[in-house]
Amino acid sequence: MSDRLLVLVRHGQSEWNLKNLFTGWKDVDLTEKGVEEARAAGKKLKAQGLSFDVAFTSVLKRAQRTLDLLLVEMGQSGIPIHRDQALNERDYGDLVGMNKDDARKKWGDEQVLIWRRSYDVQPPGGESLKDTVARTLPYFIQEILPAVLAGKRTIVSAHGNSLRALVMVLEKLSPEGILKRELATGVPIVYRLNADSTVASKLDLAA
């Protein structure tokens, strides 16, 4: 019986998370806290006795560096890593680089909340969560899921919204349900799947 192991981890705290800025596709690095979160994630996974055969990440360095630091902690730096922009964070368009408080002053609390927390409303020049799901899901179905179902122990290091797309499918959440789902930085979620790709078990490795 194969393990059918899938671990999702949101990158550690980034420099723009710390500054409360809309980040999107802007390629910012981890903070010191983010580095520690990534290392802690590796330690938690190792403590669970887990190991991986393959990894997937976005083309953004905060997700890639989280993955690299995590794998070093596990002594697994040599595994194949696939990088694809399908796993990039949601593109916030004109909001990228703007402080969230400044955005509220410019457009109003309600409008910014709609952009951040509605499923299908796009910020100016950017993607809605629905758009992000439409970009991320085909890659999951075509590339990641077949690896898991073939018995390859798989880890995905990505972003709050691209991972939400995967969680939405795995946990059968509605658009309303996924909006309420928060993914903490640097906290691995360990899934084991059945042969039909449904979830057999889930373990959240929050501290």
Provide the CATH number for the domain around residue 37.
3.40.50.1240
Taking the C-alpha atoms of 161, 165, 170 and 176 in order, what is their torsion angle to the nearest 10 degrees? 90
Count of domains for the chain = 1
- Indicate whether 2 pLDDT > 70: no
CA nearest neighbour of 162 among 3, 50, 11: 11
81 Cβ contact list (under 8 Å, min separation 6): 54, 55, 56, 57, 64, 67
Predicted local distance difference test score (pLDDT) of residue 206: 86
In the chain, the DSSP E strands lie at: 5-10, 54-57, 81-83, 154-158, 189-193, 199-204
89 noted as active-site residue: yes
- Indicate whether 97 pLDDT > 70: yes
What does pLDDT average to over the chain? 95
CA distances from 26 to 30, 73, 126, 129 (A): 12, 27, 13, 17
Active-site residue (options: 32, 36, 37, 89): 89
Active-site residue (options: 11, 37, 127, 159): 11
Q: What is the pTM of this model?
A: 0.95
Mutual orientation of helices 109-117 and 100-107 as an angle, nearest 10°? 120
In which domain, by residue range, is 160 found? 5-204
82 noted as active-site residue: no
- Indicate whether 1 pLDDT > 70: no
Predicted local distance difference test score (pLDDT) of residue 180: 86
